[in-house]
C-alpha cells in the first residue's frame, strides 16, 4: 500500500515538473510568443503591432509565467487543453485520437515482437551453440541494422503491390495495421530475443531447475513451472521500456504508411509552432510513460516475490 502511495506521489511530482518545463518551451525559444501565434495562424510575416498586442492579452501572455502555467494546469486537469493555433480545434481531441492510433500500433508491434521473441530466444538458449541458435541470433541481430525506411517500402512492395493482400497505407482497420506494426516490431523483436536468450541461458543453469528435475518433473514441466517465470523478468522490464518509447510515435513509419499517430502530429505541430499541441502531446506521453513504469514495477513485484517481501529471513 505504502509502495503504491509512494509511486503515486512520484507520478504527480514528475508530471508537475515536466509539464512546467514543457510550458516554458515558447519562452525559451527566441521570438515573441504572441507574434508566433499570429504568424502560425495567418502565415503573415509583417504583423500589425496592435494585433500582436491584442493577441497577447487575449491569450493571457501578458500575465506572469507562473500565473499562465497555473491557469493552463487548471484547465488541463479539467480536460481542456486549449485550442490548436493552426486548426483551431480542441487540442484534447487531436492528441487523444493520435494517441489512440499510436498506442494500438505500439501494442500490436510489441505483441508481434514478444510472440516471436519468447519462443525464439528460449529455443536459442536451449540449443546454445548449435546451428539453430546461431541462425536465430544472427538473423534477429540483423533486424536491428535494417532501417525502417527500407523495410517499410519493401513490405509494401511485396504484400501490397505484388501480392495485393494488404493495404499499402492509411489507417482504415486491422488489415492496415499489419504492415506498419510488423515494420515497427523488428527492432524490439531483436532485443527481446537477445534478452530472452541470455536470461534463459542463466535459468537453464540454475540449480533449482536441477532440483525440480530431481523430484520427477520432466524437462518441459520444470521449464514451464520453474524456468519461464524467472526467465521472463528481464523481458518484462525491457517490454515496458519499449512500450513507453514507442508511445512517442515513429515519424518515419507514420509518414510512410500515412498513419495519423503521435509522431506525425508532433512533427507537424513543431513545424507549425503549434505550442498547445506540443505541450499537451509531451505531457500526455510523459504521463503515460510514468504510468507504464509504475505498472511494470507492480507487475514485476507480482512475478518476483523477492522484491515485494517485507519479512526477510529470520
Tell me whether residue 187 or residue 226 sits nearer to other proteins (CB atom).
226
Tell me whether residue 166 or residue 233 sits nearer to other proteins (CB atom).
233
Residue 233 beta carbon to other proteins: minimum distance, rounded to whole angstroms: 8
Q: Is 130 in the site for other proteins (CB under 8 A)?
A: no
Q: Is 74 in the site for other proteins (CB under 8 A)?
A: no
Residues facing residue 197 across a β-bridge = none
Tell me whether residue 64 or residue 216 sits nearer to other proteins (CB atom).
216
CA 217 to chain centre: 40
Q: Is 174 in the site for other proteins (CB under 8 A)?
A: no
Tell me whether residue 46 or residue 214 sits nearer to other proteins (CB atom).
214
Packing angle between helix 65-77 and helix 2-23, nearest 10 degrees? Answer: 130
Tell me whether residue 255 or residue 301 sits nearer to other proteins (CB atom).
301
Q: Cα(first)–Cα(last) distance of the chain, in Å?
A: 23
What is the 3-class SS of 214-234, one letter each residue? HCCCCHHHHHHHHHHHHHHHH
Among 87, 213, 234, 241, interactor with other proteins by CB under 8 A: 213
How many CB atoms are located within 10 Å of the residue 298 CB? 13
From 62-70, 74-82, 247-255, 299-307, give the range in contact with other proteins by CB under 8 A.
299-307
Torsion of CA 58, 63, 66, 67, to 10 degrees: -70
Size of the site for other proteins (CB under 8 A): 27
Among 124, 179, 212, 243, interactor with other proteins by CB under 8 A: 212
Q: Is 214 in the site for other proteins (CB under 8 A)?
A: yes
Whether the CB-CB separation of 196 and 120 falls below 8 Å is answered with: yes
- 252 grid coordinates: 518515419
Residues facing residue 18 across a β-bridge = none
Give Rg (Cα) of the chain.
Answer: 25
Q: Which residues from 226-285 bind other proteins, rule CB under 8 A?
A: 226, 229-230
From 93-101, 102-110, 211-219, 274-282, give the range in contact with other proteins by CB under 8 A.
211-219
Tell me whether residue 103 or residue 304 sits nearer to other proteins (CB atom).
304
User: What is the distance between the alpha carbons of residues 274 and 232, in angstroms, rounded to a whole number?
Assistant: 42
Whether the CB-CB separation of 195 and 121 falls below 8 Å is answered with: yes
Whether the CB-CB separation of 203 and 273 falls below 8 Å is answered with: no
Q: Is 314 in the site for other proteins (CB under 8 A)?
A: yes
Question: Which 3 state secondary structure label does DSSP give 127?
Answer: coil
Q: Is 304 in the site for other proteins (CB under 8 A)?
A: yes
Q: Which residues from 179-208 bind other proteins, rule CB under 8 A?
A: 206-208
Q: Is 63 in the site for other proteins (CB under 8 A)?
A: no
Residue 304 beta carbon to other proteins: minimum distance, rounded to whole angstroms: 6
Amino acid at each position: 500500500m505504502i509502495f503504491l502511495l509512494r509511486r503515486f506521489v512520484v507520478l504527480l511530482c514528475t508530471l508537475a515538473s515536466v509539464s512546467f518545463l514543457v510550458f516554458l518551451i515558447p519562452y525559451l525559444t527566441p521570438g515573441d510568443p504572441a507574434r508566433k501565434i499570429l504568424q502560425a495562424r495567418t502565415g503573415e510575416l509583417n504583423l500589425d503591432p496592435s494585433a500582436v498586442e491584442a493577441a497577447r492579452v487575449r491569450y493571457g501572455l501578458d500575465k506572469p509565467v507562473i500565473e499562465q502555467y497555473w491557469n493552463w494546469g487548471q484547465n488541463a486537469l479539467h480536460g481542456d487543453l486549449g485550442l490548436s493555433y493552426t486548426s483551431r480545434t480542441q487540442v484534447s481531441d487531436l492528441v487523444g485520437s493520435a494517441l489512440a492510433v499510436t498506442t494500438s500500433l505500439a501494442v500490436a508491434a510489441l505483441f508481434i515482437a514478444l510472440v516471436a521473441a519468447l519462443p525464439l530466444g528460449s529455443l536459442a538458449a536451449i540449443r546454445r551453440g548449435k546451428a539453430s541458435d546461431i541462425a536465430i541470433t544472427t538473423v534477429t541481430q540483423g533486424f536491428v541494422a535494417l532501417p525502417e525506411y527500407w523495410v517499410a517500402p519493401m513490405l509494401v512492395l511485396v504484400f501490397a503491390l505484388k501480392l495485393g493482400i494488404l493495404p499499402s497505407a492509411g489507417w482504415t482497420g486491422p488489415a492496415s495495421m499489419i504492415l506498419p506494426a510488423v515494420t515497427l516490431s523488428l527492432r524490439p523483436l531483436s532485443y527481446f530475443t537477445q534478452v530472452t536468450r541470455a536470461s534463459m541461458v542463466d535459468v537453464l543453469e540454475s540449480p533449482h531447475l536441477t532440483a525440480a528435475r530431481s523430484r520427477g518433473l520432466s524437462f518441459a514441466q520444470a521449464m514451464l513451472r520453474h524456468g519461464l517465470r524467472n526467465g521472463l523478468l528481464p523481458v518484462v522490464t525491457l517490454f515496458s521500456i519499449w512500450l513507453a518509447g514507442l508511445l512517442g510515435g515513429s515519424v518515419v513509419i507514420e509518414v510512410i504508411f500515412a498513419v495519423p499517430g503521435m509522431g506525425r502530429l508532433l512533427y507537424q505541430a513543431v513545424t507549425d509552432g503549434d505550442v498547445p499541441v506540443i505541450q499537451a502531446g509531451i505531457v500526455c506521453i510523459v504521463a503515460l510513460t510514468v504510468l507504464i513504469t509504475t505498472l511494470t514495477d507492480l507487475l514485476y513485484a507480482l512475478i518476483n516475490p523477492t522484491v515485494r517481501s517485507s519479512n526477510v529471513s529470520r
